[in-house]
Amino acid sequence: MKPDIHPEYHEINIVMTDGTTFKTRSCYGQPGDTLRLDIDPKSHPAWTGVQRQVSSGGQIAKFNKKFAGLGTRKAG
């Protein structure tokens, strides 16, 4: 292996959607940083079998929000 090409591997905190926390090792951020999950195995339909609405919207909703005012003219 080549020396000095691998990212730093350190301990971080994970906060699940229900507020529970645990520590793991990752290359994410700096040592001691906190990663807050929007979707995790406790809330994702693939593991729970329950469908729920995700508030962030999909690709089309993001597009419409970004370009909502495009093409409208101001009176004056």
Tell me the pLDDT tens digit for each residue of 9-56: 999 999 988 889 999 999 999 999 999 988 887 777 777 777 656 556
Q: Is residue 42 part of a domain?
A: yes
CATH at 33: 4.10.80
**Where in the sequence is the domain holding 13, given as residue range(s)?**
1-46
* CA–CA gap between residue 34 and residue 30 (Å, rounded): 9
Banded pLDDT at 58 (limits 50, 70, 90): confident
Range name among 32-36, 63-67, 68-72 with the lowest pLDDT average? 68-72
Q: How many domains, in total, are found in the chain?
A: 1
Q: Is residue 62 part of a domain?
A: no
The answer to whether the pTM exceeds 0.75 is: no
What sign has the CA pseudo-torsion 27, 32, 33, 35? Answer: positive
Q: Is residue 31 part of a domain?
A: yes
